[in-house]
Amino acid sequence: MTTADVDQEQLQVDIGGMTCSSCAARIEKRLNRMDGVTAAVNYATEQARVTYPPGVTPDELIAQIEAAGYTASLPRSTSPSERPSDDDSDTRSDMRSVRALRDRLLVSTLLTVPVVLLAMVSALQFRNWQWLSLMLAAPVVVWGALPFHRAAWTNLRHAAATMDTLISVGVIAAFAWSLYALFIGDAGLPNMTMSFNLTPDRGGGQHDIYLEVASAVTVFILAGRYFEARAKRRSGAALRALLELGAKDVGVLRDGQEVRIPIEALSVGDQFVARPGEKIATDGIVEDGTSAIDASLLTGESVPVEVGPGDAVVGATVNAGGRLVVRATRVGAETQLAQMARLVTEAQMGKAPIQRLADRVSAIFVPIVIALAVATLGFWIGAGEPTSFAFTAAVAVLIIACPCALGLATPTALLVGTGRGAQLGILIKGPEVLESTQRVDTIVLDKTGTVTTGRMTLVAVHPAADTTDDDVLRIAGALEDASEHPIGQAIARAAAERFGTLPIVTAFENRRGLGVQGTVDDHAVVAGQDRLLVDAGIPVPRELLDARSAAEDVGHTAILVGWDRLPRGVVVVADTVKPTARDAIAELRALGLHVMLLTGDNERAANSVATEIGIDDVIARVLPEDKLAVIRRLQDEGHIVAMVGDGVNDAAALAQADLGLAMGTGTDVAIEASDLTLVREDLRSAADAIRLSRRTLQTIKGNLFWAFAYNIAALPLAAAGYLNPLIAGAAMAFSSVFVVSNSLRLRRFRASNSSRDGSSN
């Protein structure tokens, strides 16, 4: 995407070949060294956003990236309207790479199983079996482990070590040693069998082969990578979900005739029709008709907005009432929906990736192991042993240092953790998410739909003098029963709960934007705004107006009711706080988090909700587009921020937050932009989600420790020249079994409140 700034150009580049976040940092550094160039490289999305002066060409930028050892290309599509198809190709290439990984895993597994069986079961070791092992293991080591070798090579050129380096070194050492033993040593003799003696045999390397270690390690790590790749979030998914919200085609008025055209063909100035129940095709101004617009999908606000000629409407909102004729003012990339999409991608792009834990450990472990191998070599040469023996010991150090359970440490814990999460209604997107939960110190809750139910309920009835609140509710409820407006439905529901069956309403009329009127029990009833009552010739007394403004001050909605030409009362409805919200806040606090409430309401309304649920930090009057800015500000202040939200307007903030939690009852976009999805409406699952994630991360850390522990314990044996395949195999088996069973312990994780279903199993 190339957009001209004042004198700077902006460019998005697709980058290939990055293996970890330090690659991203490296490319960034290289680009930033160029005069006037600022670059932000994102490892997760494999893209760079570069701002560069006119003197620099995109080709030069690409050359710089390629010089660093990576591939770079400009995105094929440059027009924002073509983004969806671009995304599809992203998905396809994602799927292709996962499928390629699966094929690699399958072929490697098929080849490895006989190699391991032959090595472990002496009875199967027929004459010259070791040569069959070599034939089977060679493709696994060379082709199966190719991604690791390639990544290790790229890392080496940057003097960096990751998990790939460790795997590659270990696999190559084991394979090279086996080749040596087979061709030069005596392991290639026809009647050779594996020496499975418990007493280690010093310097036995020349007749031992480690082909099963080389292949099994490759398969284990490939399996781990495959599970991770399948769980990896697709960065385009949020965008796709967002763009799918829009209308697909639209009825345009051409010479008074309605013609249906695809949405892409719509241009600014076109007049189009929005029928009841249809989505508004694009941003525009109403020219004819009145209706109520349900913008809940975009704003999370449950009360429809009344619109008439001259009012602005936003694309992708739903026309809940009558037929509207709208003149399009913005189309394609200019619409509010597209702008939100841009915010979401930008937030995802700008998010700092987290280095994999295994890579961080490897970065320290690999140099130590290499140093240890070199020291071993030096020691035995210095001690006057033959060079071949010194090499045996040094290579043995490299072989045993590569833990095969390393590849299982993260995926198994993740599989069990996410599985348990799913039972509890918590969906975790990937391993990176877990790391964030550990560091989060502030949690921002969006009010509507998160803390509140997002549904209107009756709060209070204020009867006028000479009327009872029962009368007001019964008559108003009966009248509103015929209305489809959420406010009317709330009143009708409350009345039906209190009185059972309600009187029948006749001559019902919906006065759009004002309220409703009809006849109930022979009374001519009106309910709605004061203007409707005045129109009906009903004076509205001071006390009722006061009750209404008191309600509106705290963010509630008040409906005036009158019948038989007299004012009868005020019915107050509001989006109510979820019953478990207070407990949830307490649980979040117990996790050491600072809880904040974010809302577009005024301070008084926000504070009344905040006091009810026990939050003292409130950010009120936040426009939907400013939510992102609030999260950024908190991050700039040094906080690690989690955000809980549900609406499309929360999506960018969810993506920006270090940890985004979406309510499952919310929109697809919010869910896609978030890291964790809470399937239940219950806010308490947010606390459970953070606890479960933290527990899963701890398990991963424990796994990593044990993956290394057995191999590290065997390191002195290897350095002393006592390594044999039994020890290598045992270290492999013990650490794998330990890692898997340690991960399985996560199944016993319980939600904090045992009354919730799912927690008892």
Partner 1 sequence: MTVPIKLASFVLILAVVFALGAGLGALVGPFNAQSPPVHTGHTG
Chain residues in the site for partner 1 (CB under 8 A): 122, 157-159, 185-187, 189, 191-196, 201-204, 206-207, 367, 370-371, 374-386, 388-389, 392, 721
Nearer Cβ to partner 1 (401/654): 401
Least separation in angstroms between residue 331's CB and partner 1 is 49
Least separation in angstroms between residue 193's CB and partner 1 is 4
Alpha helices in 621-749 (DSSP H): 627-636, 651-656, 668-673, 684-719, 725-744
- The strand ranges marked E within 128-220 are none
Q: Which has the closest alpha carbon to 417: 743, 21, 754, 756?
A: 743
Nearer Cβ to partner 1 (50/68): 68
State yes or no: is 446 an active-site residue.
Answer: yes
Nearer Cβ to partner 1 (724/742): 724
The catalytically annotated residue of 164, 359, 446, 646 is 446
Least separation in angstroms between residue 441's CB and partner 1 is 33
Nearer Cβ to partner 1 (367/541): 367
Cβ-based neighbour number of residue 547 at 10 Å: 21
Report the distance separating Cα 148 and Cα 136, nearest Å: 19
Cβ-based neighbour number of residue 310 at 10 Å: 8
DSSP secondary structure letter of residue 304: P
Cβ-based neighbour number of residue 259 at 10 Å: 12
Write the CA distances from 370 to 367, 377, 407, 469, integer angstroms.
5, 11, 20, 83
DSSP string, 153-171: HHHHHTT---HHHHHHHHH
Nearer Cβ to partner 1 (389/705): 389
Nearer Cβ to partner 1 (130/336): 130
- Can you give the three-state secondary structure of 70-88, one letter per residue? CEEECCCCCCHHHHHHHHH
Q: Which has the closest alpha carbon to 749: 433, 445, 420, 264?
A: 420
Least separation in angstroms between residue 185's CB and partner 1 is 8
- Can you give the three-state secondary structure of 319-360, one letter per residue? ECCCCEEEEEEECHHHCHHHHHHHHHHHHHHHCCCCCCHHHH
Report the distance separating Cα 287 and Cα 559, nearest Å: 29
Least separation in angstroms between residue 402's CB and partner 1 is 19
Nearer Cβ to partner 1 (68/297): 68
Least separation in angstroms between residue 29's CB and partner 1 is 10
Residues in a beta bridge with 86? none
CB 181 within 8 A of CB 207: yes
- Three-state secondary-structure class, residue 259: strand
Write the CA distances from 594 to 614, 634, 745, integer angstroms.
12, 12, 30
Report the distance separating Cα 278 and Cα 630, nearest Å: 33
Report the distance separating Cα 650 and Cα 177, nearest Å: 56
Nearer Cβ to partner 1 (640/726): 726
Q: Which has the closest alpha carbon to 26: 160, 173, 186?
A: 160
Least separation in angstroms between residue 397's CB and partner 1 is 11
Least separation in angstroms between residue 715's CB and partner 1 is 14
The catalytic site residues sit at: 446
